[in-house]
Structures are given as C-alpha cells and as structure tokens.
Chain A
Amino acid sequence: MEQVFGRPKALSEKRLHYCPGCTHGIIHRLVAEAIDDLGIQDKTIGVAPVGCAVLAYDYFNLDFQQAAHGRAPAVATGIKRVLPDRFVFTYQGDGDLASIGMAEIVHAAARGEKITVIFINNAIYGMTGGQMAPTSLPGQKTTTSPYGRDINTVGYPIRVAEMLTTLDGPAYISRVSVHDPKHINKAKEAIRKAFEVQIQGLGFSLVEVLSTCPTNWGLSPREALKWLEENMIPYYPLGVFKSPEEVSKVGA
C-alpha cells in the first residue's frame, strides 16, 4: 500500500516541548517537509535561536549550530561563507530577530547573504514568560505591558517583512500565517520558495510566519487561532513582498 503521510525524514523522533496549541510544531514540520521535498537533508545546516525554539536542533535530523540571542543571521553568514554550496537557514522568533538581533538581520539582508530566515512572529516573548515584543500589537497586554501596549510611551510594532523589503539585498520576502489549513498550505509554498531562492543562489530569503502563543496570550488554542486571524493579520498583512521571477512559479 502506498504511504501518503508520515514523519518527514528531516524531523527527528523527539517529542516536542512546545505548549498545547503552539504553532511551532506545525512550522517545524513545514520546514522539514520542504527539506525532504527538495532532497537537501544532507547539505542543510540549521541555526537555532534563543527563545522557545532554542531546542529546534533536537527536533530536526540536521546538522545544527545554536546561536546567541539575535545572532543567528551572523552565525549563518559564517557557515554559508565557508560552505557556499550548502543550504543554511535560521529559525528565529520576534524577540530574537526584531529586537536584540535587529542589526544582524538587517545587515544579513542588506548584504544579500544567501541564507534563508524562518521568522516566527507571535507578538510576544514566549520562553521568558510573555513579555512585550517589538511585534506586540497596540493595546496588547503582556507581562511588561500590563495595561496594554501604550504606543505613546513604547511606540509601535515593527513590520519586519515590509521593513526588509525596502532593502535591495533580499531576493524573496513573504508573510504567511498558520491559523488554518488553507493558510498552512500557503505557508508551506512560501517556505519552499524561500528555500528555492537560496538553492538557486538568488540571494537572501525570509518568510515571516504569524504564529500563536496561547499560553502567554492567555487564550485557549482555538481562541488563539481566532485572535491571530482577527488581530494580527490586519496589522501584519499576508503576501509576497519580494520575489524573483525565477521562483515565482515554484510550488504555485
């Protein structure tokens, strides 16, 4: 009998530590499926962040380096420059990438570094217990914005995909969501395209994935999916912001 569904080879057997309803698990699978589809498991090196996904190296059957908070794009740069024929990706959350690691991501993008960044935006610091992130929404309550994010004192959330799109370096930038199966399929397409961009040597690629954090949002998994759809997508519009023609048809 033909097997139609199974664990991707690039995913390990290890049980995920993520909270119930957290979408990291889905996104890990999408990354692993893309690696399997493209047949690049033996040439891939991942870079894990600091944050909930710090243990990502346990969940992938891949060589991995674990980076300091925010520094993954610099570490990935070092790896890729030594091994230009390998596939190098980082997996980073919003605190890691858009706060402490803003310099690293902007300059890796500006250099057109031939790496792929999977950027998980769940509008909050997960691992440290629900503090305000650079992507927390106006009015959003967190443990360090207990009265709601006040834009008059702490300013506005950062739209990373749009910001990086202003640079000439990136070849592919998109924003996707994983709040329902239709969007999960689109997210998979985007991740695959971003990977193709690197494999074809076209430049820097980044997929921003809107993700949930039911535990720190104080919502049930189902409510969290709804909250993402109703609150995050209006602020963080989905779509492809930049794409080279060479990959526009891949996976479409």
Chain B
Amino acid sequence: MAERVMMKGNEAVAEGAIRAGCRYFFGYPITPQNEVPEYMSRRLPKIGGVFIQAESEVSAINMVYGAGGAGGRAMTSSSSPGISLKQEGISYIATAEVPCVIVNMARGGPGLGGLTPSQSDYFQAVKGGGHGDYHLIVLAPWSVQEMVDLVGLAFDLADKYRNPAMILGDAILGQMMEPVTFKSEPIDPKDLPAKPWATVGLSGERKPNLINSLGLLPEHLESINLRLQEKYKKIAENEVRFEGTDVDDADLVVVAYGTTSRVAKSAIDQARKDGKKVGLFRPITLWPFPTKQIQELAAAGKRFLVVEMSAGQMVEDVRLAVNGEASVEFFGKLNGAIPTVEEVYREIMSRF
C-alpha cells in the first residue's frame, strides 16, 4: 500500500524531489521556505547526494546550472526576493537549455515585502523573469499532495524539454501540513535516461559538449531564439494542465490557482448550494497557460471572475485568452491578506 504521511508543504516538495531522483540541492536561507534546505541537508548526504548552503541566491542558482549541465537532477528553492536574485542565472539556464527545478514559496512584495503568502510573483514566473525571450515551465500546486506530484512532473518535463521548471507555491502552501501519499516508487537516478549533451568529459570520438548562452553573431543569436521559440510552442501544445470543477453548466467561472483556488472552491461550493451556476477553473500549469481552454469557455458564453493574491496578474492572461469575447472581472487581495471564503462568496453572489 502507498505510504501516507503528514507533511509540511516545504518538506513534501523536498521529499518529492528526492523521490524524483534529485540528488543535488543548492540553497540559501530565506523565510518561508527554510524547511526545504533543512530537509535536504538532513536527507541528501545519507543517500549519496549533495547539499550546499551557498553564499547567496546568485551562487546557488549557478551551482544548479553547473550540476544540471553535468547531468544531475538539481534543484534550488527560495522565496520571492531570493528568486529575484536568481533571475540572471535562470536566464542563462533557460538559454543554455539546462534542465533543473526552481521552487518559489512566494511571499509578499515588492521589495523586502513581508512573510505572508502572495501571488504577486506570477508575472515574474510566467513571463520569463530575467532578461531575454524565454519561458520556464511553471507548475502551481494547490495542496501538499500536489507539491509531491508536481515536483516529480517538473523534473520529468525539465529533462524532456531541457528547460528549467518552476514550482510556484506560497507561504501558506509551504507551511501547512496535510496528508500526503507517495504514489510511485522512488526513482534511482541511475535509471534515468542518459543525457548525451551533458558536460562530463570528452569520451570516445565525440566532439566537445558545450553548455552556452552566447550568440555573438546576429544569425547565431537568432537561431538560438528560433530554437527556443519552437520548443516553447511544442510545450504549449502538449503540456497544458488544468482542473475544471462544475464548469460545464456554469454561467460564471472563477479562475484561480494555488492557495486562492482552495478558498474559491469553498466559496463556490456555498454558492452552488444557493443555486448559483458557478464553477472553478484552476490552471495547474501557469506556463504554458490554458489559453485554449479558457477561450472555449468564453465562446460557450461564460463570464469570468479571476481571484488572486495580487493586484491582478493572471487576470491579464485570462483577458488575452478571452480576447474581448466575454466579461472578465477581478478580485484581488494585496500581499499579506488571504481572501476569506466569505469575501469570495460575496464577490460571486454580487455577480448574479
């Protein structure tokens, strides 16, 4: 029988990563994600892995770049201000096409901000975050169980597309405890597919492997960008994930992800009891965004209410998807205030 245990979100994402074959973790302390590096520092040395507390977020992400480039499943985690520091490295990693996983247990910003949960890093996560035209694969868990499930998926997608993947959680998801089931057997890194592009030392007759993001000649740089865009198109076609609840007969569709989608779910359940035709659409991949699915809902005549813990970020992607075909309204809480079920319920009811 599958193992079922109580875990904090931060511990679950760490254990999930280990079970997905991650043996290299590089981090730096920042609240509210400290349980991730602490867990890794306990576990990894016991199973032949490596934990390094780097001198900075900047170094940590560059260690990930080196370790991922050398073929290991590597991960770093941080929270919002630390993720900002990693952006230079993430841009290099995305361009050099090195697979890795980055966890952001987001907290309120801007600036030093606060320690409470927030979804104000959405733009940073899904629009690239650093310089240049690139994308991360961004997965948004809404439970501790999904921390485990999605971190495994993140490693698989990262390897499959040679692209960095991000788990975008928040302070609540990192700190709360829930039961978790580990559904599959842990992966032995030795059983993972070979990475013939990795820099491991020249062997046999092959040409040297190079992990690089430099394109000095315009035509070379263009070819790098065209290759990346081609890949992003493929990811967008094949890897969109979402969950719809009570959407089919709904007049109003609430779009929310992560913590906010849990609150929205409870509010929707109440409104349904009151006979209101309302449903929940929860993007699981924030990039690629479920644009087509939202388009289809708009074409079917549905209205939208987007709920976020931000001043309104994902709502822009919903509006782009809807492209003026349907009404898109927004309800947001700014950094530090989690919307209550009552608030979201009132917002829903006021639209009927």
Contacts and interface: CB of A to CB of B under 8 A. Distances in A.
B96 interface: yes
Contacts of B24: 78, 81-82
Nearest to B211: A65
- Name, among B26, B71, B208, the residue most crowded by chain A CB atoms within 10 Å (CB to CB): B208
Contact of A81 (B52, B58, B88): B52
Given A83-B70, A107-B59, A65 B52 contact: no
Interface in A39-85: 41-45, 47, 54-55, 57, 60-68, 71, 74-83
Contacts of A42: 201-203
A77 B52 contact: yes
Interface string B46-85: 0000101011101110111111111110100000000000
A104 interface: yes
Nearest to A110: B55
Given A63-B209, A81-B24, A41 B202 contact: yes
B208 A60 contact: yes
Interface in B173-215: 199-203, 208-214
Contact of A63 (B55, B60, B67, B201): B201
B92 interface: yes
B67 A65 contact: no
Contacts of B96: 65-66
B210 A82 contact: no
Given A45-B200, A71-B58, A65 B66 contact: yes
A52 to B, nearest CB: 13
Contacts of A87: 201
7 contacts: A44-B201, A66-B211, A71-B58, A74-B62, A79-B199, A80-B66, A82-B70
Interface of A: 41-45, 47, 54-55, 57, 60-68, 71, 74-83, 86-87, 103-104, 106-107, 111
Interface of B: 24, 26, 50, 52, 54-56, 58-60, 62-72, 74, 88-89, 92, 96, 199-203, 208-214
